[in-house]
Copies of this chain bind each other. A is one copy, B any other.
Amino acid sequence: MSQKIKPRIYKGTRDFLPEQMIKRQFVINHIERIFKKYGFEALETPTMELWETLSGKYGEEADRLTYRFTDRGDREVGLRYDLTVPLSRVVASYPHIPKPFKRYQIQPVWRADKPQKGRFREFYQCDIDVIGSASMLAEAEILAAIYEILKVLGFDQFLMRINSRKILRGIAEVSGISPEQEGTMARAIDKFDKIGLEGVKSELIKSGINAAKTKALLEKLGSSGTNSQRITDAEKYLKESDTGIQGLEELKKLFHFLQIYEIPEEYLIFDLFLARGLDYYTGPIFETFVREPQIGSITGGGRYDNLIGMFSGTDYPATGCSIGLERIITVMEELDMFPEYLKTPIQALVTVFEASTLDYSIDIARKLRAAHINTELYTGESKLRGQFGLANDKSIPLVIIAGPDEIENQQFNLKNMRTGEQSTHLLEDLIMRVQEILNTLHSE
């Protein structure tokens, strides 16, 4: 046609070709299955939200990073920045939604950011939240679902770090740190993983918390021993703080529940150095830290009892967690954690020997599909050699050939592309022979 255009993608966005899509779908399908098993239901919200809905919810930085434009009717709109603000709008918009509302949501979000390695302008988020429950059971359900997801995906050496904003407030109180300094304190503590104890110390002092108070604070944060020892220690120095004690009582309940869920103790840690960045948390906060492979945090969340009230007359207690879907997929790819067979959904390629044998090939494809076997029938123009090349390029595990001899004898020829074995069988045994080989592949 007329002028040719050099094909270019918008920087910071990605095409997901079939070999990536099958891996993404594998992870997302497992996550969705487990979410449903834990009673979470799906929600989707629009890509565009009115600017009034998005603005001022996340802070100045986020307002700046939101894709934002004026539509043809002069309405200011923005592209979805995360999944929590849309959820809050939904809860406020549909008061009839039965509570507790347990929803999951897996959709892309957009950031008008400079693209860098591993940082994209479009990426998927994956959230679960419980709206309308003040019980620690809500946190337990979320953590149990996440535990099962990580296990199923093949992560093993991970720690679910748990703390509470109430406990941090209590520690601030008993260390003589004023409520105004609590935000600064939390942000300094939150950097512990990156800058270490000395780093946190100097950040705290720089921010105007004096050396004595800093010392008092850090002594308390550096607790050790089992989770119940850590709780007992904290009970001692928090007894002057009602908020602190309340936070501790909540975590005691949560740890008790997690035991009934049979989540092994070694996966759980009451970690006072966990603070989380966002301002809106009000109770328990949690993160999952993967030790082996060393990839850091891949989930994070907490209780936010006051956020939904921004959109409606009514406050709802709420707690939720975001799963770092993109990070999980990247790590699983880099570390080759996907099953060997997960290269294509196609299980068999039916070749076309020559024009005159085509009907027989169509019939074989039809029979395989009727038996729920994902089958590609060759539609191109290459000879048999090129057709085998296609099976190789696409990692299709089985190739079926039927030339005039096979047709004459109502047979087919079957090649196992993994082993190279090739054999001829009766057409009436088609499904059985193909299934035999497919079964060996999935048990690899």
Contact = CB atoms under 8 A, between A and B. Distances in A.
Interface of A: 1-5, 7-10, 13-18, 21-22, 24-25, 36-39, 41-50, 52-53, 67, 69, 71-72, 75, 77, 79, 89-90, 92-94, 97-100, 102-103, 108, 110, 112, 121-122, 130, 132-135, 137-138, 140-141, 257, 260-262, 306-307, 309-313, 344-346, 358-359, 362-363, 366, 369, 372-381, 390, 393-394
24 contacts: A1-B309, A3-B310, A4-B310, A7-B90, A10-B46, A15-B43, A15-B93, A17-B90, A18-B43, A39-B346, A47-B47, A47-B108, A47-B122, A48-B110, A69-B69, A72-B112, A98-B390, A98-B394, A102-B376, A130-B379, A132-B380, A135-B381, A137-B358, A260-B366
A377 B39 contact: yes
A107 B384 CA distance: 35
Contacts of A103: 18
Contacts of A22: 41-42
Given A36-B374, A48-B13, A310 B5 contact: yes
A380 to B, nearest CB: 5
Given A4-B309, A7-B92, 9 more contacts: A10-B50, A13-B46, A15-B90, A18-B103, A38-B369, A47-B79, A102-B376, A138-B379, A257-B362
Contacts of A89: 7, 9
Nearest to A13: B46
B9 A93 contact: yes
